[in-house]
Amino acid sequence: MLELRQTELFKNITQENIIKMMMCTRAITKEYEAGQYIFREEDKPEYLYLILRGSVAVVKDFASGRQDILYLTSEGSVFGEEFFKSDQTRYWFDAVAKEKTVLLLLPWKFFFDFCSNACEHHQQVNKNMLEIMSEKNFYMTKKAHILSSTTLREKISVWLVENAKGDDTVELPMNREQMASYLGVTRPSLSRELMKMQKENLILIEKNKVKILNL
């Protein structure tokens, strides 16, 4: 299982000081089975969640039965930070474990109520938290850019270009159903458009990879 000092939240903090903070914060560790909800819409936000093992999907369910994936997060990442010192008293989305997952639950008050031993490493973890929030905001801005595209092909193209590596290859971090949900379209529509793009020699699909042939 991932060690805390290997995560972005606890970077530049020694193991000794991490142990001290864990005693101050009264954090708890919980295990979740695949498909189990970590929190539901309308639950009260109380924790910041750090993934020690596994992965989590943050999703929005609609009355129609449609589910949109807001983002996927994996080992070493945090989620739930949208409610960091927020006036929102209830979640407006769900978080569900994609596989067997172990989480560290850090009470929000830890980030604001410095104990009598307030020290440099407590300040460092708050600095790390601000960097994580900034990076997540950038990610959500990029998603908004993708979803503002006018056609499905444009959405797919922008997403592929945004995620391409130096060799113009994209390793898909989600399956076809999840990708459709992320882009806000149906799976059949996504599959048809991907096949059309491959027939036109724009892309090459190889299992969980997509090669951009004509950038």
Per-residue pLDDT of the chain (215 residues; tens, 9 = 90+): 678 888 999 998 888 888 888 877 888 999 999 999 999 998 988 899 999 999 999 998 877 777 788 888 999 999 988 776 556 678 889 999 999 999 999 988 777 766 555 567 777 888 888 888 888 888 788 888 888 888 999 999 999 998 898 889 999 888 888 889 889 888 999 999 999 999 999 999 998 899 999 99
Measured distance CA(97)–CA(74) in Å, rounded:
10
Q: How many H-runs (helices) and E-runs (strands) does the chain carry?
A: 5, 11
Question: Please, what is the end-to-end C-alpha distance for the chain in angstroms?
Answer: 39
Closest to 59 (Cα-Cα) out of 95, 89, 90, 97 = 95
Segments of 108-185 assigned E as strands: 169-171
pTM, two decimal places = 0.72
